[in-house]
A and B are shown apart, each in its own frame.
Chain A
Amino acid sequence: MKSQTAMALLLVLILPLGFARIWRLQHGIDSQLASVSQEPDDVLLRSGKLVKIMSLEYAPLMADIYWTRAVQYYGNKHVRGQANLEMLWPLLDVTTTLDPNLIVAYRFGAMFLSQAPPAGAGRPDQAVELIRRGIQANPDYWRLNEDLGFVYYFDLKDYPKASEAFLEGSKKPNAQLWMKVMAAKIAAEGDSLSTSMFLWKDIYESSSDPMIKENALQRLKLLKAQEDCMRLDALADEYAKRNGRRPARMTDLVQAGLLRGVPADPEGFAYVFGEDGKAELNLDSPLLEQQVLLERLNKVVPR
């Protein structure tokens, strides 16, 4: 009896201590492995057709698993600010081969691929290929044409092809009327502020993903700021015409009766005039950081 009690006590002592040691040891092993392995993510099977054959009849479930892997891969890299997203294309390729009707993989996948690093893979060419594959598998889904137009318009700056994509989409069942309008507008004007605002607004309203919504909202705020600055520059020109000099401060425009009050950006920070006399974002505005980042990204993206 005594020996049984002693054994029980020993177990009570050994179990927590033993597992606590194992826990710490595993942490040590993890950090060791992380230091020797530079790229733990890997897509062992890159052939979508092979994975489909191996999935027996469970290809739709495998597609969901691969899609979740793609989202996790992109999310992890995005959080760490890592620009290397070379596994993204194989993951999306396998996902869409396993389930050609998984619309979300084309739409979000193209977004992940097209954006410049570190926000995305900086491969708008692959985004175009992915969406074209999606259109082939889902010919009645007009939103994919919208996405194609979006990539051509914002990332590749290829306005004739963007217009063509919107026009093609406008012919599909249930396509919204503005698709045709957008096609004509882009064909006539190319890049314009109102077109950009409309497209980001549509992304903001049609997406249910918080990350995409936030990105679209930031873009809309920046575009609004850009539009405000252009208007303020026009007023400053008017001020210069009347007074023979450009305004130094926003209050100059208010005092001249050209503005009712000092205008603020969408984050509530008052606009200022820069050294060149042009209206710009306040140094304290959080939008300024976004703007600098976007300008840097635009320089990185190969046109």
Chain B
Amino acid sequence: MKRVGIVALNTFREAVRDRVLYNLVFFALLMMLAAVVVGQISIGIEESVIVSLGLSAISVIGLLISVFIGVALVSKEMEKRTLYALLAKPVRRWEFLLGKFGGLVLTLAVNTAAMAAGLFLVMLYVKHSLQREDAVVLVAVYFIWLKLALIVALALMFSCFTTPLLAILFTAGLYIVGLYVQELRNLPVDVMSPAMAAFTKWLSYLLPNFENFNVMAMAAHGRAVPGTLILQNTLYAVIYCAIVLTGAAAAFSRKNLK
């Protein structure tokens, strides 16, 4: 486990060195602009739009980092041939993979936490004080981070058995499909054969359901998120990540690195 930690820490350091956290400047500018402009061009949404915009920005920026850097985690090491030097040391392939995953998830945690702090500062500026119900924004941020962790795992898995471009497409595609899993479940079963109905039902449970993590509307209107949902989503993300990373480790261990 110590070896996993070392790889994770180095991945985090590398991300910081690669100026990944520079996106925070963009986020800060966007939020400042929104705080000043929205009140003047709209009516009655000064507070809710800050939350919606802030959470959307955290999600989009995080998604871009998760997909593009997640896919490059392994492929870049192979391209630069640094992977060979690393694997020559007593580090197992799965430990390397898990370390890479942990490093990027840590980077995303720092990034997301910094953006959340910025969001709360803007909320304080707009609302002049923070109320207890604003804590739901923290839950929404946590759910976004869970979702990003799942996307990193998927990006890492795809990058283990295909080219970076295809891995990006597969990850982005699965993310979009994962937002409409509920629709898949609601397909009219009476017009399908029983086998097809069973297939779509099973598929809807197998695919990652990203809609689970979407509580932006609740956060924008200050509605509380049930504690059970927080626990269920945490477990869902942990178990799904474990499954995907196991698949990624299996693919990576069979990968011919010559």
Contact = CB atoms under 8 A, between A and B. Distances in A.
B45 A102 contact: yes
Interface residues of B, number: 23
A206 to B, nearest CB: 12
A8 interface: no
B34 to A, nearest CB: 10
Please indicate which of the listed interface residues B38, B42, B211 has the most CB atoms of chain A within 10 Å of its own CB: B42
A104 B52 contact: no
**Interface of chain B, main secondary structure:** helix
B43 A71 contact: yes
Contacts of A67: 42, 45
Interface stretch (B11-19, B216-224, B240-248): B216-224
B114 interface: no
Given A68-B41, A71-B42, A102-B48, A60 B179 contact: no
Given A53-B180, A56-B176, A57-B59, A64 B45 contact: yes
B179 A209 contact: no
Contacts of A59: 216-217
B45 A60 contact: no
Contacts of B230: none
A61 B42 contact: no
A271 B49 CA distance: 48
**Interface of chain A, main secondary structure:** helix
A99 B45 CA distance: 12
A176 interface: no
Contact of A56 (B44, B53, B179, B221): B179
Given A64-B45, A68-B49, 6 more contacts: A56-B176, A60-B217, A61-B53, A67-B45, A72-B41, A108-B44
Interface of B: 38, 41-45, 48-49, 52-53, 56, 59, 176, 179-180, 210-211, 214, 216-217, 220-221, 223
Interface of A: 53, 56-61, 63-64, 67-68, 71-72, 99, 101-102, 104, 107-108, 208-209
